[in-house]
Amino acid sequence: MSQHPIREVSPGTVAVTAGRPPRVQGGPVNPPVVLSSTYVSAGDPGGERLYTRMDTETWGPFEETLAALEGGRHGIVLGSGMAAIAAAVGDLRPGSVVVVPRHAYQVTLGFLDDRAARYDVEVRRVDVADTDAVVAALDGADLLLAESPTNPMLEVADLPALLAAARERGVRTVVDNTFATPLGQRPLALGADVVVHSVTKYLAGHSDVVLGAVVTDDDAIAADVRAYRTLHGAIAGPMEVFLALRGLRTLHLRVERANANADELARRLAAHPAVAEVRHPSLPGDPGHERAAAQMNGFGAIIGLRPRGGRAAADAVVDAVALWVPATSLGGVESSLERRRRFATESVTVPEDLLRLSVGVEDVEDLWADLDQALSRVAAGQGLA
């Protein structure tokens, strides 16, 4: 029984087929979960497994599958998305300079601010959609840590231009690809050194695990990230990785449905009388539309929504929905929403009334009916209808 496809296969097929055990008569179709902290070992330690903090066979299939999807040679799973960020950023010595979007995941920004306070690291926050400004900020920098689209403002960076400019200047590049997923864009192919994911989100996809991952083509970077994982104990539990791999098998189906739902909801929201502003790259008038259309495969399933009536209206919409789940995080099969500035650590340039919608895989008409009734009810209650 051949395991070699007759031609190159699509990413969806890779998600289903990569990381499978060898085809042997009577063998399992899925890789087994090994629940052991310790391995039998005597004498001088060599290449064999010793202890699960260093390695376990349960990590391998997930790492192989994600690396194949991202087009990289090394996939490394870690205990959380922030563990992946910390490992990918690496050793920031005093005087190091990091360029990062002014709008990015708030804990990423908090991590860099902590490095700045503790170790005299300079953090340059930029409008990542302003290519000239980012390129100027790269002069004398050591690291570009990019998001595109950004969290939660959905700005779209010109990744090919920024990554090329960074490479010319010898600046290491890390791209957080959580929002787009490897089905939406492949930053390594665009010139990135490292890709990071919060596996918790779309890759696992069911809001039941906390994991992170790093993907790279660079052998030295991969060795550093694995050493970080071992030395800092930033390891993933085998059951969590098993669940993440099971989620990864349906990534293409979930992303296709969620993206289609988001495109349709964004279009309808843009015409709703109770809505002041909608951000989604699918909309022709969105600032990131042309750039996203050129470098992404699909526009993602996150929508930025500002209802008429300001912060009070935004909070009221969250209270009024029935199907949408008021919750942080994103990328699960269920649709969720939250007002981002409810977190004191969110960037102060994020509007107080911005709702971040994570569109799931439910029936789009049901999702729309729930949003419409919530927006209309809130608008009527405030005399805006």
Q: What is the set of active-site residues? A: 53, 105, 176, 201
Q: DSSP character for 42?
A: -
For residues 91 and 238, is the Cβ–Cβ distance under 8 A? Answer: no
Report d(CA 353, CA 71) in Å as an integer: 38
Three-state DSSP class for 195? strand
How many CA atoms, within 13 angstroms, populate the side-chain half-sphere of residue 217?
Answer: 14
What distance in Å separates the CA atoms of residue 20 and residue 28, rounded to the nearest whole number? 9
Using a 10 angstrom Cβ sphere, with 0-12 exposed, 13-18 middle and 19 or more buried, the burial of residue 56 is buried
Buried b (16+ CB within 10 A) or exposed e, 90-103: bebeeebbbbbbbb
**What is the rounded CA–CA span in Å between residue 309 and residue 170?**
47
In the 3-class helix/strand/coil scheme, how is 286-353 assigned residue by residue?
CCCHHHHHHHCCCCCCEEEEEECCHHHHHHHHHHHCCCCEECCCCCCCCCEEEEHHHCCCCCCCCCCC
d(CA 214, CA 181): 13
Closest CA to 225 of 61, 107, 73, 76: 76
